[in-house]
Amino acid sequence: MKPGWGVGIIVAILIPVAIYLLNIVNLSGMISMLLLLIGLWTIIAAFAIVERKDRSYYSGWGVVIAVLSLFYFLPSLNYTIALVILAIVALIIINVYIGKAPKMYEAATIHPAPAGETPAATAV
């Protein structure tokens, strides 16, 4: 059985909560660790689990989520916000130039047949 993205996320949530409950880190450290583990798992899942067409999407958002964890390590929140904005811009550029746009489907233009010509209408 192949592990899914959700299983890794559950583990990524439970590990920081357990470490917080053991009083190893404070609440800010737990949230930072949670974001870092979720981001790293999303990046790993992008290359190991997810289909090829979705890799840039998952890996990009994994980077964005992992960068959000930097608020605990960087002294100023401005640096973290700037890095998140840069990561989102990079994600947009990657998806525009590397990712493929989904095919657009149009509605069928075939007109329905008149009711008198169908077998059900003539059976009466």
Question: Token pair for residue 41?
Answer: 């798992």
pTM over 0.85: no
Which stretches of the chain score pLDDT less than 50? none
Which pLDDT belongs to residue 37?
92
The pLDDT value given to residue 17: 93
Please report the pLDDT score of residue 103 as a whole number: 53
What b/e string do you get for 26-49 counting C-beta neighbours within 10 Å, with b at 16 or more? eeebbbbbbbbbbbbbbbbbbeeb
Report the length, in residues, of the chain: 124
Residues 77 and 92: their CA atoms lie apart, in Å, by 23
